[in-house]
C-alpha cells in the first residue's frame, strides 16, 4: 500500500492549491450557494495570495 506524506505547503504549491480551492467552491458548492456568494468566497483568492501565505 502506498504511503502518504503530509507536509506544509510551499510557495511552489500555489498553482495546485489555487486550482483545488476554486474547483471545490465552483464544483461542489454550487448546489448550496448562489453565484454572488461563490464569487465573494473566491474574491482575492489568487495564486499569488496562496504563494504569499505558504
pLDDT of residue 26: 87
pLDDT of residue 28: 83
pLDDT of residue 1: 80
Contact 14, 50 (CB under 8 A): yes
- CA gap 20, 49 in Å, rounded: 14
Low-confidence ranges of the chain (pLDDT < 50): none
Q: How many CA atoms within 13 Å lie on the side-chain side of 54?
A: 19
pLDDT of residue 27: 87
Longest dimension (CA), the chain: 43
Amino acid at each position: 500500500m502506498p504511503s502518504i506524506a503530509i507536509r506544509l505547503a510551499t510557495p511552489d504549491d500555489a498553482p495546485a492549491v489555487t486550482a483545488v480551492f476554486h474547483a471545490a467552491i465552483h464544483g461542489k458548492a454550487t448546489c448550496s450557494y448562489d453565484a454572488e456568494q461563490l464569487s465573494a468566497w473566491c474574491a482575492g483568492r489568487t495564486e499569488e495570495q496562496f504563494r504569499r501565505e505558504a
